[in-house]
Structure 1
Amino acid sequence: MALVTLKKLALTFIALYLARRVYWEATTGSRRRALKKRHGCLPNKELPTKNRFLVFGIDFIRRNIRAYKDHKLLEAWGACLTDNNAHTISMHVLGQSIFLTDDPENVKTILATDFEKWSIGRERIKHISAYLGKGIFTTEGAAWKHSREMLRPCFERSQVADISIMDNHTNRFMNLIPKDGTTIDLQPLFHQLTLDIATDFLFGKSTNALDHSKGDIEVEEFIKAFEYCQNPFLGEDEARFGWFSEVLRQWFSNRKFKIATKTIADFTDKIIDEEIASKVSKDRAQPDRYVFLNELLSQTSDRIHVRSELLNILLAGRDTTAALLSNVVWELSRQPSITTRLRQEVAEHIGDEVPTYQQLKDMRYLKAIINESQRLYPIVPSNSREAIEDTILPRGGGPDESSPLFIPKRAYVAYHSYSMHRRPDIFGSDADIFNPTRWLDEEREDGALRPGWAYLPFNGGPRICIGQQFALTEAMFVVVRLLQTFPVMESRDDEVWREKMSLTCTGLGGCKVGLKSVN
C-alpha cells in the first residue's frame, strides 16, 4: 500500500512538472523564442565548469574565494574572459544566471540606451540599505531622481570652484606629514582628509578626523564601523557577491554588523542634532553657500531619511577620492620622470601659490595622470545590473560575439571595468603600463585616444557620478599642494599593486612614501 501511494505521489509530481513546463513553453518560452528570432540573437560563450550539470558553480565560487584571499580577484574575473577568448561570457552559480562582459557596446546599452530595463539589483539594494538607508545609491525611480536633484546644486561650478574648504583641510593634512623623509603611509590620512572635506562641504561642519583633539564626534568608531559594514564577510568583499551575499549571511551571525550600523547611525544623528540645535540657538553662523544637510532639513523632519541621504553621499565623497589619491601618489613616488614633468607643469601654471580652480583645469598633464590612474586602477573596478525584463544586449552572441545576446529577466550582467580599461585593442599594446601620455593627443603616434564607453571612471548614463568635477578638483588640488610642499618624494614600498576590495577598491599596500621639504 505504501509503495502504491509513493508511486502515485511520484506520478502526480511528474504530471505537475510536465504541465508547468508545457505552460511555460507556451507562454514565456514562446515569447522569448520570438524575441530572440526578431533580434537575431545567438548563444553566447559559457564559462567551463566542473559541475555544470548541477548548475551550482561550486568550482567558480571556490576559485573566487581563493583569488580574493590572494587579493587577485579582479585578475581572476578578467581571466574568465581572456582565458576563453571572450568579451562576454555566462555562468550559472547556485541556479542564478550571471553574465560577465567588458564589451563597451554592452555597457552603453545597460547604462544608457536601455537604462529603464535594468535595476541596480534587489540584493545589492537590500545589503547596502542595511547600513546606509535609502538614498541616492540605494534607490531607483522617483526617489533616486529626487535625491539627485537635491544634490545637484552642491556640485554647480560656483560651489566646486571655491577651493577654500579644500585648502583649509589640506593645510592640516600637510602638517601631519614628516618633513625629513621618514616613511609614512598616506592612505589612512587620505581617508581622514577626504572625510573632513566631504563633511564640511556637504554638512556645513567637518568631522575634523585629521585632528581628533578639535573634533567632538567619535570619528574612529564611525570609520571602523563604516568600513566593516562594507565588508562583513570575506573580510572586504561580501557586497560584491551580490545575491550570493544573502546566502552567506544565513551561515554567519550578523550581530557585529548590527552593532556597526548603530554606531554609524549614532554618529550621523549627532551631526544632525547639532545642526538643528545651531539653527535654533543661532550660535553658529550658517555657511553662505548651498549645504546639502540644510536643504534636507528644510524639506523633511524625518530623521531616518535625512541620515540615509547623508550616509549615501558620504560613501562617495570619502572613499572614492581617497582611493584615487592613494593610487596617484603611489605611482608618482615610483615614476620619477613622470613626477619631474608634473613638477614642471606646476611651476609653469601655478608656482608656489595656492592653485585656483581654473589653473587646475588648465593642467593637462596632471589631468592625464589622473585619467591614467583611474584607467589602470578603477575605483569601482566591477559593477552589475539586474535585468527587470527579458532584454537584449547588442553583442556577445555567436562564435565571434558580433550577434545580439538574449538576457532573461532577473539575470545579472556584471560589467568589468578593470578588464575593459586594460584592453590592448582599445588602449594600445602597453595597456598594462602606467603611461599618462596616452591621454595627450599631440604625443600619440596613432591618433587621438577616444575610448568612449570603454572608459568608465565615474560610471555613465543617467546614474553617472554627479560629483565627478568636485572629486577631480579635490584630487588635483591635493596632489599639487603635495608637490609644492615637498620637493622630494620617494617610494618606500617595492611591492606590486594588489587590490583591497570593498564597495570601492584601493591598493592593498597603502601609499608608503618618504617626503622631504626644503631645509
Structure 2
Amino acid sequence: MDDIDSRTGAARVFGETLFFTKDPENIKCILATGFDHWSLGANRIAEMSKYLGYGIFTNEGKAWKHSREMLRPCFERSAVADVSVFDKHTERFLNILPKDGTEVDLQPLFHELTLDIATEFLFGRSTNSLDRGEHSEEVQEFIEAFEYLNNPFSNETVEKWGNLGIFLPDKKQKNSIKIIQDFTDKVIDEELRSKSSSPTKDEKRYIFLDELVAATSDRTVIRSELLNILLAGRDTTAALLSNLIWELPRHPAILSRLRTEIADIVGSGTPTYDQLKDMKYLRAIVNESQRLYPIVPANSREALRDTTIPRGGGPDGQSPLLVPKGCYVSYMTYSMHRDESLYGTDALEFKPERWLDPGFRPGWAYIPFSGGPRVCIGQNFALTEAMFVVVRLVQEFDFERKDFEEWVEKLTITCTGAGGCRLGLTRRDE
C-alpha cells in the first residue's frame, strides 16, 4: 500500500486503485456530508440481495428512503422498552449454563440466544435454538442455513479450494437461501391469514412483522425487510456480547464496579428499560467494547462520480484527495478506534472510564453503528438487548477466566474473537 498520509492510503488490486482511510474527517465525508456521492457498490448489493432481497441494507436512493421510513416506527421506544422478550430467552440461556465453574464457551450460545430473541421480535415466534432438540426439523434447517449464509469465509467451496472458493459457485449456498426464504414466506403467509381471520391482535405484545403487514401487503418486500433486519440484528449483538464478556474477568476492578452499579440501580430483580438507561457505567463498558472491537471492523463505499475526500492529497496529505468514479474507499473502523493519535497512549487498553469524562468527545472517530443517513436504525434495540443480557449474567454468576491467550480476530462478517468467550461460571450466593 502506498502511504498518502498516516491515515489514508491507496493500493492497486487486480488493476484497480483501492483507497483506504481511517481519518475521521474522510469517514464523515463518505457517510454524511458527501453522502450522495457514494454507493454501497454494485457488486456488494448483487451478492447481498441474493440472500436478503432488496431491503433497508441493500436498497439505495428512493427505495432505501422508503425502507427506512417504513421501518423507523418499528424501532420506536414503545417497541424496544418492552424487555419481556429479552427476559424470556435470557432466562432459558442462563438455565442451560454450567454453574459449578466448569469451562464454557459463551460465544456460540450468544449466537443462539440472539437468534431466538431476534426471530421472536421479528416473526412473532422464536427459533428456540437454545431448547435442545425441542424445535422442529423445519426450524433446525432454518437455523443451519442461517449459520451457513452468515459465514461466507467457511463455506463448502472455500473449504475445498481455499480463498479462491469465495469466487466459485456454491450449491449449498443456493439451497440455504431457498430454505431461509421459504421459511420466512411461510411465517408471513400464516401471519397474513391470521390477520384476515382475526384482526384483533394481542395489543400487549409487539411483533415487528405485524407492523410490516400493516404497512404493505407485498410478501417479497416484507420478507426482504425481515431478513435484512435479522442479519443485522443477530450476529452483531452476539459479537458485542462475546467480546464484552471476554474482557470482564480480565478486569476485576471493572467487574466489581459494574456489580455495584447493578446492585444500586436494579438490585436482584429483572432490569427495566429505564433502569438500563440509568446505568452509566454499564453503557461506558459497552462503548469501550465497541471501540476496541467494532462489530463491523471495516466497510467501504464506491464513488458514484469523480469526487474528493477532505484529506490525503498534496505533499503533506492534508489536502483534498481525488477519488475517481467507480473507485472504492475502504474505511478502517477497527484501526481508527485504536489510533493513539485519536484516543491517547492508552488506546489499546480496555478502559471504560474514558467514557465518563465529560470532556471526552470522539465524534466521528467513534462509529460503532456507522453514521450519517444510514446510521443503524436498530441501535437502541441492540444496546438494550446487550445491556439486559450483561446485567442478568452479572447478577447470577461469578466469572473465572479460563483462557490466557490474546484476543485474535476470527474472519467472519462481524468482529469476533477466534478463541471464543471461554470462562468458568459459578452461581453467586443469594
Q: If the TM-score is normalised by the length of the shorter chain, which range does it land in?
A: over 0.9
Taking the TM superposition and a 5 Å limit, the aligned residue runs for 1:151-300 are 151-216=71-136, 218-233=138-153, 252-282=168-198, 285-288=201-204, 291-300=207-216
Post-superposition offset of 1:285: 4.8
Q: What is the deviation of 1:356?
A: 1.4
- From 463, 470, 479, give the equivalent of 2:381: 470
- CA displacement, residues 328-365 of structure 1 (integer Å, 9 cap, x when unaligned): 11101222121111111111111112111121111111
Q: Distance in 2 between matches of 1:406 and 1:392?
A: 4
Matching residue's letter, 2:400: E
Per-residue CA distance 1:35-84 (angstroms, 9 max, x = gap): xxxxxxxxxxxx25xxxxxxxxxxxxxxxxxxxxxxxxxxxxxxxx6xx8
Closer, same or farther in 2 for the Cα pair 1:105/1:260, shift >3 Å? same
Aligned match of 1:504: 414
Q: Which letter maps to 1:94?
A: F
Amino acid at match of 1:124: R
Change (3 A) 1:237 1:489: farther
* Deviation for aligned residue 1:189: 1.4
37, 43, 46: which is aligned to 1:126?
46
| Alignment deviations for residues 450-494 of structure 1 (CA, whole Å, 9 cap, x no partner) | 1100100000000000111111111111101111111x1112122
Aligned pair 1:385/2:296, yes or no? no
Matches for 1:34-73 after TM superposition, within 5 Å: 47-48=1-2
Q: Which residue of 2 aligns with 1:495?
A: 405
Contact between 2:111 and 2:238, CA under 8 Å: does it hold in 1? yes
Q: Secondary structure at the match of 1:298?
A: helix
Q: In structure 2, do the counterparts of structure 1 residues 173 and 249 end up closer, same or farther at CA, with 3 Å as the change threshold?
A: closer
The verdict on how the C-alpha distance between 1:290 and 1:168 changes in structure 2, with shifts beyond 3 A counting, is: closer
Q: CA deviation digits over 1:244-269, x for unaligned, max 9? A: x9x9655x232121111112112222
Shift in CA distance, 288/214, structure 1 to aligned 2, threshold 3 Å: farther
Report matched runs for 1:285-434 at 5 Å.
285-288=201-204, 291-434=207-350
Structure 1 325/392 Cα, relative in aligned 2: closer, same or farther at 3 Å? same
Structure 2 length normalisation: TM-score?
A: 0.93
Whole-Å separation in 2 of the counterparts to 1:205 and 1:404: 51
Give, in angstroms, the shift of residue 236 of structure 1: 11
Q: What is residue 517 of structure 1 aligned with on the other side?
A: 427
How many angstroms apart in 2 are the aligned matches of 1:189 and 1:101?
35
Question: Residue 26 of structure 2 aligns with which residue?
Answer: 106
Letter in 1 for 2:208: F
AA matched with 1:304: T
Q: Secondary structure at the match of 1:333?
A: helix
Partner Cα distance (1:237, 1:105) in 2: 39
Q: CA deviation at 1:171?
A: 1.0
Q: Is residue 2:378 matched to residue 1:458?
A: no
Runs of 5+ unmatched residues, structure 1: 1-46, 49-80, 239-244, 443-447
- Work out the CA distance in 2 between the residues paired with 1:460 and 1:449: 19
- Residue matched to 1:71: none
CA contact (8 A) 2:70 2:215 kept: no
**Is residue 117–residue 387 contact of structure 1 (8 Å, CA) maintained in 2?**
yes
Q: Distance in 2 between matches of 1:89 and 1:263?
A: 42
Q: What is the root-mean-square deviation of aligned Cα atoms in Å?
A: 2.3
| Structure 1 range deviating more: 223-232 or 146-155 | 223-232
Q: Residue 250 of structure 2 aligns to a residue in which SS?
A: coil
Amino acid at match of 1:366: L
Q: Which amino acid aligns with 1:408?
A: P
With 324-333 and 292-301 compared, the bigger mean Cα shift is at 292-301
Select which of 353, 364, 376 maps to 1:437: 353
Distance 1:263 1:130 in 2: 13
SS at match of 1:192: helix
How far the C-alpha of 1:280 sits from its partner, in A, is: 4.5
Structure 1 Cα separation of the partners of residues 177 and 229 of structure 2: 16
Q: Is the 8 A contact 2:276 2:387 kept in 1?
A: yes
Shift of 1:178: 1.2
Larger Rg: 1
User: SS at the partner of 2:288?
Assistant: helix
| SS of 1:208 mapped into structure 2 | coil
CA distance, structure 2, for counterparts of residue 485 and residue 218 of structure 1: 34
Task: Provide the secondary structure at the position in 2 that maps to 1:320.
Answer: helix
Q: Distance in 2 between matches of 1:476 and 1:249?
A: 35
- Cα separation, partners in 2 of 1:284 and 1:516, compared to 1, 3 Å: farther
1:213-269 Cα deviation digits (max 9, x unpaired): 55446344323322322443565999xxxxxx9x9655x232121111112112222
Is the 1:159–1:289 contact (alpha carbons within 8 Å) kept by the matching residues of 2? no
- Measured against aligned partners, the alpha-carbon deviations of 1:78-135 in whole angstroms (never above 9, x if no partner) come to xxx6xx8621101111122210000000000000001011001111101111111111
User: Which letter does structure 1 place at the counterpart of 2:82?
Assistant: D
The answer to whether structure 1 residue 484 and structure 2 residue 395 are counterparts is yes
Amino acid at match of 1:358: D
TM-score by length of 1: 0.77
- Between the aligned partners of 2:156 and 2:75, the Cα distance in structure 1 is 30
Residue pairs, 1:56-95, within 5 angstroms = 86-95=6-15
Overall identity of the aligned pairs, in %: 61
CA shift in 2, pair 1:269/1:287, >3 Å: farther
Once residues 315 and 144 of structure 2 are traced to their aligned partners in structure 1, the CA distance between those partners, rounded to angstroms, is 48
Contact 1:181 1:514 (8 Å CA) reproduced: yes
Task: Rate the CA distance shift 1:91–1:139 in 2: closer, same or farther, 3 A.
Answer: same
Count of aligned positions: 425
Equivalent position SS for 1:380: coil
Unmatched segments (≥5 aa) in structure 2:
none
- The one-letter code matched in structure 2 to 1:508 is A
Report the Cα distance in structure 1 between the residues aligned to 2:245 and 2:192, rounded to whole angstroms.
39
Distance 1:310 1:276 in 2: 15
Superimposed CA distance per residue, residues 389-425 of structure 1 (whole angstroms, 9 cap, x where no aligned partner): 0001110012321111001000000000000001111
> Are residues 287 and 508 of structure 1, via their aligned partners in 2, closer, same or farther at CA, if it must alter by over 3 Å?
farther
Q: What amino acid maps onto 2:381 in structure 1?
A: F
